[in-house]
Structure 1
Amino acid sequence: MMWGYGWDGGWMGPLMGVSAVLWWVLVIVVVLGVVRWLRSPQAPGVGPAPAERDAREILDRRYARGEIDAEEYTERRRVLTGS
């Protein structure tokens, strides 16, 4: 008497097949995620923080956006260069 635990596995066969497929899908998704993260141009924690940007670059952008006028731009640029 086998009580339903014969070679066919009963309901365990399909369950094992589905879990095996889900396992490999998970492995592939994790590997692709790591590869994409490593190939990203700016991985988190790499490069200068926004507060550490070059002051000249910030000044140039503010002038380009019209936040400061030419006189203020020239004065601040002179202060930054020290001349």
Structure 2
Amino acid sequence: MLRLAIPILFAAGPALADAGEYGHMRWGDGYGVGMIFGPVIWLIVLGLVVAGVIWLVRQTETPAGGHRPPTGALTELDLRLARGEIDGDEYAARKKLLNS
């Protein structure tokens, strides 16, 4: 019986030392709010870090040719030629006008 009682007393020692309330888990100490919202705040921080890394990668990546595609009027002109809205002569004339 004594063999069984000694391990039980050692295991119950911390609970017997603070038999009243557990001081570290009271709501009045302010720990309860942190325990509830702490994981939410970390998820928000983690989401912001992931979004920042994705944004950074998208800003620094370049196409296979090593340069960014042109934007604006020349791109629109190229698209109109590809869709067949204008022919080659009109494309050349407009491109010459845009480049001058």
Q: TM-score, normalised by structure 2?
A: 0.45
Matched, 1:63 2:97: no
1:78 CA drift (Å): 6.2
CA distance in 2 between counterparts of 1:14 and 1:48 reads 54
Sequence identity percentage = 28
Matched, 1:10 2:27: yes
Paired residue total: 71
1:66 CA drift (Å): 1.1
| Runs (4+) off by over 4 Å | 74-82
Question: Which amino acid in structure 2 is aligned with residue 14 of structure 1?
Answer: G
3-state SS of 1:68 partner: coil
CA distance in 1 between counterparts of 2:98 and 2:34 reads 68
Greater helix share, structure number: 2
Larger RCO (CA within 8 A; separation ≥ 6): 1
Q: TM-score, normalised by structure 1?
A: 0.52
RMSD: 3.8
Aligned residue in 1 for 2:9: none
CA distance in 2 between counterparts of 1:66 and 1:33 reads 39
1:20 CA drift (Å): 1.4
CA distance in 2 between counterparts of 1:15 and 1:78 reads 67
